[in-house]
Amino acid sequence: MYINENSKVIVQGMTGKQGMFHTQIMLNYGTKIVAGVTPGKGGQQVHDIPVFNKMKEAIQETGADTSIIFVPARFILSAAMESLNAGINMTCIITENVPVFDMIQLVEKAKEKGLFLIGPNCPGMLIPDKIKLGIMPNNMCHYGDVAVISKSGTLSYEITKAIGNSDIGVSAYIGIGGDPVRGTTMQEAVAYYSEDPKTKIIVLIGEIGSDEEEKTAELIKYNVSKPVIAYIAGKSAPEGKRMGHAGAIISGDIGTAKGKIKALKDSGVLIANTPWEVPQVIKEIL
């Protein structure tokens, strides 16, 4: 299980400006935040929540199983490694500009321990009306049966809001981020929600760069029976130019929007030509 309404959350870096700000917003949404962790700040309180020096102390006192990290990029390796070594089920890294080699080590550690990792440079996860683990808007949608999986942050907010405005419910929103090395991949998220009994339809928001959508298409073709809808951003992007995310660069035929759309179509995925078509395509299925 990634997260649910009973997840007990630690905010790593809660005493910093971003940590304090987003802790309050997540609390307002109903997220069960039980502790903060900032080395050297143990004994303090933020929003009436106790702050600890170490993850193990916080877990022993609160029974937490989930973490969200708001610390500068240079501290991510030590903070996330501490979370994984302490056995936290889901560690969410919001921070951008995390060194690639640091992420390689963290991804290997998560796999070694059988734990979930999402990010870096991502908006996090949301189960509407139940738990918000991230920085996405509070009012995008209400609970339902469509899972939204996205590499893009801002675009995914727009599409998820459009889905919500069309009176379609969302079972989960997961912003996996667009960095070349990260925790949860699109394939892994699709595999997870293809087995989720509360999810009936999966929406993918992809973008140019890498071959992740092509690999996901192959997974869908042979292993996913649920309807999948996709929107691919970057159809007019010039070749070889980096666009936004670190992973959004194309070279030759690899990573192009055209190639991704073809691979997805060939796997039975329904393609939305614009972001605003996504709710229309969902309604055609429902």
Q: What is the spatial distance between Cα 270 and Cα 257, in angstroms, rounded to a whole number? A: 15
User: Under CATH, to which class is 139-285 assigned?
Assistant: alpha beta
Helix 73-85, helix 55-62: angle, nearest 10: 50
Q: What is the spatial distance between Cα 68 and Cα 95, in angstroms, rounded to a whole number? A: 10
Q: What is the DSSP letter of 279?
A: H
> DSSP readout, 228-264?
EEEEEE-TTPPTT---SSTT---BTTBT-HHHHHHHH
Which residue(s) pair with 91 in the sheet?
A: 67, 117
Q: Which pLDDT score, from 0 to 100, does residue 234 have? A: 74
Euclidean distance between the first and the last CA atom of the chain, given in angstroms as a whole number = 26
Instruction: Choose among 203, 205, 204, 191: nearest CA to 283.
Output: 203
Residues 233/205, Cβ–Cβ less than 8 Å? yes
Q: Which pLDDT score, from 0 to 100, does residue 286 have? A: 83
Dihedral pair phi/psi, residue 148, rounded to 5°: -110, 120
Paired tokens of 151? 């590499």
Q: Does domain 9-118 have CATH number 3.40.50.720?
A: yes
Q: What is the spatial distance between Cα 47 and Cα 282, in angstroms, rounded to a whole number? A: 40
Residue 92, judged by CB atoms within 10 A of its CB (0-12, 13-18, 19+), counts as: buried
Q: What is the spatial distance between Cα 101 and Cα 10, in angstroms, rounded to a whole number? A: 25
Residues 108/244, Cβ–Cβ less than 8 Å? no
Residues 41/35, Cβ–Cβ less than 8 Å? no
Q: Which pLDDT score, from 0 to 100, does residue 99 have? A: 97
Tens-digit pLDDT string for the chain (286 aa): 799 999 999 999 999 999 999 999 999 999 999 999 999 999 999 999 999 999 999 999 999 999 999 999 999 999 999 999 999 999 999 999 999 999 999 999 999 999 999 999 999 999 999 999 999 999 999 999 999 999 988 999 999 999 999 999 999 999 999 898 999 999 999 999 999 999 999 999 998 878 899 999 999 999 999 999 999 987 655 555 555 555 555 555 567 889 999 999 999 999 999 999 999 999 999 8
Instruction: Say if 9-118 and 139-285 have the same CATH topology.
Output: yes
Residue ranges covered by each domain of the chain:
9-118, 139-285
All residues at 6 or more sequence positions from 286 whose CB lies less than 8 Å from its CB, including other chains: 168, 201
Q: Which residues are catalytic?
A: 245
Residue carrying the six token digits 């089920």: 89
Instruction: Choose among 83, 264, 76, 261: nearest CA to 182.
Output: 76
